[in-house]
Structure 1
């Protein structure tokens, strides 16, 4: 091993350049496989760099620098002082990127109930306000479908007490049969509404607003064709305080 690969800098001991490479990878919380993938090399090549079998080239160092590796530390053993806010922002960016590429994390789209009605049955093609990233395990425990639902922002005061104006509710688009009483997202008169639904004698539906200021609406059997049920509202992300 050549002398240039040794430097005094980590805990006061002489360490090799490949030791510092491993230190940086671990600082970022990446496995060898994850680090190699981002660096554009094979896992074996990464292992060789960390064992000292091979020395990293300039293009490799340039690539790993682009995703937050302190290449100055790797090459010289000295840390470049950066503002704490920059370090935090960088770490958050790396964490978010890992989460977005984690197959165990679902990205649930968020919509506004007042966005253009479109075809009604889904929000496909409509503006997405953002994404709510949730572990699939947690979704399963909450009995929320990871791939057939969305968070929808409610509007108005008709469901106040249950769902307030601006609250986000999780809508399961696979549940469109109101045979069981519940709160549903519906399309009616060209706009989306969130209402409690009950079946009544004769096969009709009763639309109920939890706010007592609003009257109940009876949908007769022959009128049901004008009401489209988009999905059932399962969870409310309303404010606690």
Structure 2
């Protein structure tokens, strides 16, 4: 088993003796902390790759301290328990809230792109009741910040938006986060009769864009925006 994913500079010498047997059982504790959440969804919540999570689950590698903190935060468990089996050995439960990761990637008017390596800044709490009422699964949700004023009046500059990544096809007119020409945008999408899709800004100082039917493959929908200081569905 390797105790670090990257170079040796990530390793920190322990101040107290560590039960190596407990470290060896890390993968079992991780599996318990994940519960019914699949590796792909859990990786997204942690801000890590699915491959990294599967490697930890297999016992092939052990996360560095910063990644351990990300995993513990996403799972809602005590990091000392997760790493070493130290008491309290219980998942921190909150029956009322779900915690949605806020990434450091941003929606922008041409100054950024969605990156699977985006760092999780914090976890935002939403009541499970409100999400359930909207038919949303917390495992499919992510939050990021909006740059620019192209959606002014609906989504302001520096607003936080929540997207449902399971809704990554155009299901009807609505606001979506899209990846177009390697740039990330929050825009209203509207399908036209000829099969093309209009990309519409709320701020009328910006011209609408039209993606012809034959170029729709270049329009990647990351997910539907469902909340931005208020529900959008």
Output the TM-score relative to the length of structure 1: 0.52
Q: 1:113 — aligned with what?
A: 106
**What is the rounded CA distance, in whole Å, between the counterparts of 2:190 and 2:216 in structure 1?**
13
Q: 2:193 — aligned with what?
A: 201
Q: 2:127 — aligned with what?
A: 135
Q: 2:93 — aligned with what?
A: 102
Answering whether residue 212 of structure 2 is matched by residue 212 of structure 1, we say no
* CA positional deviation for 1:133: 2.1
Answering whether residue 162 of structure 2 is matched by residue 170 of structure 1, we say yes
Q: 2:218 — aligned with what?
A: 226
Label 1:124 to 1:107 Cα distance change in 2 as closer, same or farther (>3 A).
Answer: farther
8 Å CA contact 1:179–1:199 kept in 2: the answer is: no
* CA positional deviation for 1:124: 3.6
8 Å CA contact 2:177–2:225 kept in 1: the answer is: yes
Deviations along 1:171-193, whole A, 9 cap, x unmatched? 00011221400000000111110
8 Å CA contact 2:112–2:182 kept in 1: the answer is: no
1:185 to 177, 188, 208: 177
**What pairs up with 1:26-105 in 2 under 5 angstroms?**
101-102=92-93, 104=95, 105=97
**What is the rounded CA distance, in whole Å, between the counterparts of 1:213 and 1:155 in structure 2?**
16
8 Å CA contact 1:108–1:134 kept in 2: the answer is: yes
Secondary structure of 1:187's partner?
Answer: strand
8 Å CA contact 1:179–1:198 kept in 2: the answer is: no
**What is the rounded CA distance, in whole Å, between the counterparts of 2:171 and 2:136 in structure 1?**
19
Aligned residues: 138
8 Å CA contact 2:178–2:186 kept in 1: the answer is: yes
**What pairs up with 1:138-149 in 2 under 5 angstroms?**
138-149=130-141
Aligned Cα RMSD in Å? 2.4
Deviations along 1:138-196, whole A, 9 cap, x unmatched? 32124332110111211100000000001111100011221400000000111110110
Structure 1 unmatched ranges of 5 or more? 1-95
Secondary structure of 1:113's partner?
Answer: strand
8 Å CA contact 1:159–1:209 kept in 2: the answer is: yes
Q: 1:235 — aligned with what?
A: 227
Output the TM-score relative to the length of structure 2: 0.54
* CA positional deviation for 1:131: 0.8
**What is the rounded CA distance, in whole Å, between the counterparts of 2:204 and 2:164 in structure 1?**
26
Label 1:158 to 1:116 Cα distance change in 2 as closer, same or farther (>3 A).
Answer: closer
Secondary structure of 1:129's partner?
Answer: strand
Q: 2:152 — aligned with what?
A: 160
Structure 2 unmatched ranges of 5 or more? 1-76, 79-87
Q: 1:45 — aligned with what?
A: none
Q: Which gives a bigger RCO, structure 1 or 2 (Cα 8 Å, sep 6+)?
A: 2
